[in-house]
Structure 1
Amino acid sequence: MRFPLAALAVALSATASQAAVPCGGSFSGFVKKMKQEAVARGHAPSTVDSFFRTVRQDLETIAADRRQGVFQLPFLDFSQRLISQNRIQRGRQMEQKWDDVFERIEAEYGVPRGVLLAFWAFETDYGAVQGDFNTVNSLMTLAHDCRRPDLFRPQVFSAIELYEQGGLDPASTTGAWAGEIGMVQMLPGDIIESGVDADGDGAVRLKTSPPDALTSGAKMLRHLGWRPNEPWLQEVEVPAEMDWAQTGLDTKKTASDWLEMGVRPRSGSLQRPDLPASLLLPQGHEGPAFLAYPNFDVYFEWNESFVYVMTAAYFATRLEGAPVYDAGDPEPGLNERQMIRLQETLKARGYDVGGVDGILGEMTRKAVQAEQERLGLPADAWPTPSLLERL
């Protein structure tokens, strides 16, 4: 699912007379104020009335937003759940079926087919499961909810613009619970910015046209910073001993520098020795290891979950021919209750863990790594029950 990090900047682009509608309060009052702001932004009153005529609050959207326990799984469990042999086989079939589309995409945008196939698989199972939430209802519900209103308010106004263009029906357009539409799940603002009529039928149809959906996804990735003809992730082997505190997204060295430190590609050679890369250990120094190149950072513009990003990037390499990872033998991690206890402990010590939610995100990893280093433990950012007891 695509959560744009620039949403707040878009929300603040309105003039002073178009002050942001506050979240919360009665939903009907919120709708009234959003309609007023839409008119102030230049939309015709009749269009605004028509757009909001069928809108209603959707409590199932709120429930789905709060129900994201799958992201609490560690990388090995999460990736093994999402990457099935059937998904790999379907990916091969889709690659062959739409080979000419992928060739055009790779030539024009420089986004490899494996990257798009992985998103297509994870987001909608190659278009089979696109979601049945009313898009406008979901966006308005999440904009009204006070957990992340600045993320979703701009998407409501983008949806109005999409409606004006004929690309959305407020009463019937459906998609994911967070307002994404189509085979690769794009938000209204992304569709306006990156939607492509790749099949030449005169319309951008992301729900029914694989060429439109895949090409639009590629254009969006380029807009987000994808660098053509560069790798994104490569599995490596690490030495038994090294300064584990240098691992993680914040530390970047050229791939050749990592080679000098004893890091070796698990198969083949370094894809780009000259590029900066981070050494990532999703389950510590005894689990799988990867070099993450600059394109890996673009994944976080698509989804902010570390475990999702790792899995999507890894699956893309599999679809491009990489072998199954070496799972290693990592120490057991923490269950949800233990992770919450860890986050509470780290927060009490002054760390910003990005919320006590039981999910091992990047901010929690940074805090864990700092404490491991302080305690003289391998600072690989992988929290274990023994670390929790030490803390």
Structure 2
Amino acid sequence: MSRFAARRFGLLMCFTSILATTAAAQECGGDLGAFLDGVKKEAVAGGIPAEIADRALAGARIDEKVLSRDRAQGVFKQTFLEFSQRTVSKARLDIGARKIKEYAEVFARAEQEFGVPAGVITAFWAMETDFGAVQGDFNTRNALVTLSHDCRRPELFRPQLIALIKMVEHGDLDPQTNTGAWAGEIGQVQMLPKDIIAFGVDGDGDGHENLKTSAPDAILTAAKFIQHLGFRRGEPWIQEVTLPENLPWEKSGLGGTLTAGDWFAAGVTPRDGNTSFASLPAALVLPQGRKGPAFITYPNFNVYLEWNQSFIYTTSAAYFATRLNGAPAYDKGNPETGLNDADMRALQTKLQALGHDVGKIDGILGSGTRVAIQKEQARLGMPADGWATPALLGAL
């Protein structure tokens, strides 16, 4: 996947039955030749000519580097401040502004047809591949053969391999030379073959959807995909806010039931002064606790979570898009000191022993750990802002 560990396996789960039956999707392992014969039969049964399937699979091999990346991959452990300041750099903002100007007509079409602003698309474009500069050097066909043959998640990757063969049939991919991310994502906005087939747009009018070399194709395809994920035209996605000293901190975090107006009434103040979306459902997110940067997230933020399930990545991408739309840099605040990896694991172990579901003990401040932290903070009479601190670890 992208070098920012973009994990969209949740999306893949929604599509596994489109091109393959459950039984076929779970075939894996064994002799590679026999496995590829099974893939060919499935492709042909789906209407792809046998000679196309043969051409797409000729010379396919297992890529051990893909398996290594798959075994080692994990969500980064940087804080929001560390990650967002590295990724939302002045250089990227400047390039993004130039790209928006250069492709103004394409972005105008994207917003007119799909309701997605230029900043939203451009932020993903930047964070996924540095505007197409770093798209990955893994042979896409071999990556998907490897992950389909491997028995960890064949139901996720085999349908993508069949979709790749369809792309070969359409003339949109050369199986011998096409490269991308290790998990089969392709092009300037790093999309999987099934998504390219379903949402691809020929933005430059050449009769093909080439997300590797055509910026118009990539921009419009991303816009159509983002619309499909549920983006609501004309609504915000994230808004920086300032906070009063006291709030019902236990109500912060994703998944709440309050509106933006409820938060405004409690003293939360948008930095841009815009309170016109007060009626929308809204969450108060505090990536590094109540003393760090603070944001209101709106329903459109869910699109970011569909794109990538990492909270730090999604919050950074959403913030990036606001910067491209003219928002100022966030107020860093003065967050309380967090925990190192060993202490975070120790905290997760304690939370698990108390009956909380924190998932894997991995040292990562994920959603399950944040929820557990809030519950324990509230029980201990501490501000329940979901931020892991030495004080909380000591209190437990």
TM-score with structure 2 setting the length: 0.92
1:84 maps to which of 78, 84, 89: 89
2:170 is the alignment partner of 1:168? no
SS at structure 1 position matched to 2:65: helix
2:302 maps to which of 288, 293, 297: 297
Deviation at 1:302, TM superposition (A): 0.8
Comparing 266-275 with 10-19, which one deviates more in the overlay?
10-19
CA contact (8 A) 1:18 1:40 kept: no
Deviation at 1:22, TM superposition (A): 4.1
Q: Distance in 1 between matches of 2:326 and 2:168?
A: 41
CA contact (8 A) 1:2 1:185 kept: no
Q: Distance in 2 between matches of 1:236 and 1:172?
A: 47
2:366 is the alignment partner of 1:385? no
2:281 maps to which of 276, 285, 289: 276
1:374 maps to which of 364, 375, 379: 379
CA contact (8 A) 1:123 1:185 kept: yes
2:228 is the alignment partner of 1:261? no
Comparing 308-317 with 337-346, which one deviates more in the overlay?
337-346
1:319: which partner in 2?
Answer: 324
What amino acid is aligned across from residue 21 of structure 1 in structure 2?
Q
Deviation at 1:291, TM superposition (A): 0.4
CA contact (8 A) 1:130 1:183 kept: yes
Q: Distance in 2 between matches of 1:359 and 1:70?
A: 8
What amino acid is aligned across from residue 236 of structure 1 in structure 2?
V
Q: Distance in 1 between matches of 2:22 and 2:46?
A: 9
CA contact (8 A) 2:87 2:127 kept: yes
CA contact (8 A) 2:26 2:155 kept: no
Deviation at 1:348, TM superposition (A): 3.5
1:186: which partner in 2?
Answer: 191
SS at structure 1 position matched to 2:282: strand
Deviation at 1:262, TM superposition (A): 1.0
CA contact (8 A) 1:282 1:382 kept: yes
SS at structure 1 position matched to 2:240: strand
CA distance 1:261–1:288, shift in 2 (3 Å):
same
What amino acid is aligned across from residue 284 of structure 1 in structure 2?
G
C-alpha offsets along residues 348-391 of structure 1, whole Å, 9 cap, x if unaligned? 43333232332222222112222222222211111112222333
Comparing 246-255 with 3-12, which one deviates more in the overlay?
3-12
SS at structure 1 position matched to 2:210: coil
- Segments of structure 2 that go 5 or more residues without pairing to the other structure are 1-5
What amino acid is aligned across from residue 125 of structure 1 in structure 2?
D
Deviation at 1:84, TM superposition (A): 1.3
Q: Distance in 1 between matches of 2:357 and 2:30?
A: 29
SS at structure 1 position matched to 2:85: helix
CA contact (8 A) 1:30 1:144 kept: yes
What amino acid is aligned across from residue 328 of structure 2 in structure 1?
P
CA distance 1:32–1:375, shift in 2 (3 Å):
farther
What is the percentage of aligned positions where both structures have the same residue?
53
Comparing 172-181 with 150-159, which one deviates more in the overlay?
150-159
CA contact (8 A) 2:25 2:159 kept: no
C-alpha offsets along residues 98-151 of structure 1, whole Å, 9 cap, x if unaligned? 111111111111111111111111111111111111111112222334444333
Alignment of 1:6-85 (within 5 A): 6-13=11-18, 18-24=23-29, 27=32, 30-68=35-73, 71-85=76-90
Deviation at 1:67, TM superposition (A): 4.4
2:365: which partner in 1?
Answer: 360
Deviation at 1:174, TM superposition (A): 0.7
Q: Distance in 1 between matches of 2:285 and 2:45?
A: 47
Q: Distance in 2 between matches of 1:57 and 1:36?
A: 20
CA contact (8 A) 1:21 1:34 kept: no
SS at structure 2 position matched to 1:279: strand
Alignment of 1:217-236 (within 5 A): 217-236=222-241
Q: Distance in 1 between matches of 2:20 and 2:187?
A: 32
Comparing 41-50 with 95-104, which one deviates more in the overlay?
41-50
Deviation at 1:323, TM superposition (A): 0.8
SS at structure 1 position matched to 2:239: strand
CA RMSD of aligned residues (A): 2.1
2:158 maps to which of 120, 137, 153: 153
Q: Distance in 2 between matches of 1:288 and 1:16?
A: 46
Deviation at 1:36, TM superposition (A): 4.1
2:7 is the alignment partner of 1:5? no
Alignment of 1:325-336 (within 5 A): 325-336=330-341
2:203 is the alignment partner of 1:198? yes
2:124 maps to which of 111, 119, 122: 119
Q: Distance in 2 between matches of 1:143 and 1:54?
A: 16
1:210 maps to which of 206, 209, 215: 215
C-alpha offsets along residues 180-214 of structure 1, whole Å, 9 cap, x if unaligned? 11111111011001110111111112111111100
Comparing 131-140 with 242-251, which one deviates more in the overlay?
131-140
Comparing 255-264 with 328-337, which one deviates more in the overlay?
328-337
Q: Distance in 2 between matches of 1:59 and 1:51?
A: 20
TM-score with structure 1 setting the length: 0.93
Comparing 188-197 with 52-61, which one deviates more in the overlay?
52-61
SS at structure 2 position matched to 1:389: helix
1:237: which partner in 2?
Answer: 242
